[in-house]
Amino acid sequence: MVTFGYSFLPTDTTVTHKTVFGEIIDLKLPDGTSVVLNGNSEISYDKTSPRNINLSGEAYFKVKSIPSTKAKFWVNTKDLKVEVFGTQFHVSTRDNKTGVLLDEGSIELLLDDGTTQKMIPGELVSYSKEDKEITHDKVTQDLSYSLWREGTYIFNNTSVYEVMKNVEQAYGMKTEFIDEELKDQKLTGGIPNQNLKICLSAIEKSTGTRIVVKDKRLLIFKN
């Protein structure tokens, strides 16, 4: 059985970085690893073990390789543990599951059920310990997916409904489709995510919709 480091009692040696809705921060860890933390997310680690990270939310990692010691790097979520040897990858714990996209290098996932899953660049793996379901896909032009990478949403053949779920999670808002048929409209492309106004404007231009912000709600109309 795999033991995970995600849940533990904080101590005076615990370092925590947390973002509020709509905030994105760039971090440099003690070992030189770079982390971009998306809105409504949190990472923590013990000062004595800065290459063993706990994540809730969404982050993009550029892990610093240490060839002299071949030191590993770990990212723990509620569903799995990512074992890294120096690489670039994205991890999301949204929607009651953990999704991992590998950009370069190599990683191995240690799932909650005790099994392991190796990944190569360009692969997207999603796993939930609740339903024990795993999906393993190669990122292609035909694959429908939603990714976040260093301040940018990347959508491929993604419904507007799924697009707006990403916005909700990052900014703490709720979406209302005034015109229900807009939910199934597809979007492909990159959308900046460092400013809500710019983000919504880009979605409007890409989908031909109109989005009105009212009392923490995003009202979507046909344009």
Whether the Cβ atoms of residue 93 and residue 56 lie closer than 8 Å to each other: yes
* Predicted pLDDT of residue 148: 87
* Predicted pLDDT of residue 11: 58
CA atoms within 13 A on the CB side of 168: 14
Q: Which of 150, 98, 105 is nearest to 124 (CA)?
A: 98
In Å, how far are 88, 130, 150, 162, 175 from 127, measured between CA atoms? Answer: 19, 9, 22, 18, 26
Beta-bridge mates of residue 209: 222
pLDDT exceeding 90 applies to what percent of the chain?
A: 70
SS3 35: strand
| CB proximity list for 74: less than 8 A, separation 6 or greater | 5, 51, 52, 53, 81, 82, 83, 84
Hey, do 14-138 and 145-222 end up sharing a CATH topology, with the first three levels equal? no
Could you give the maximum distance between any two Cα atoms of the chain, in Å?
A: 58
* Predicted pLDDT of residue 52: 95
Sequence spans of domains, the chain: 14-138, 145-222
SS3 27: strand
Q: Indicate yes or no: pTM above 0.85.
A: no
d(CA 18, CA 213): 25
pLDDT along the chain (223 residues), means of 10: 45 89 93 94 94 95 82 92 89 90 92 88 92 89 86 92 93 94 93 92 94 94 89
User: What is the CATH architecture assignment of 14-138?
Assistant: Sandwich (2.60)
Whether the Cβ atoms of residue 120 and residue 102 lie closer than 8 Å to each other: yes
d(CA 73, CA 53): 8
User: Running DSSP on this structure, what letter comes out for residue 63?
Assistant: P
* Predicted pLDDT of residue 10: 55
* Predicted pLDDT of residue 3: 41
* Predicted pLDDT of residue 1: 37
Beta-bridge mates of residue 175: 218
Q: What is the CATH number of domain 145-222?
A: 3.55.50.30
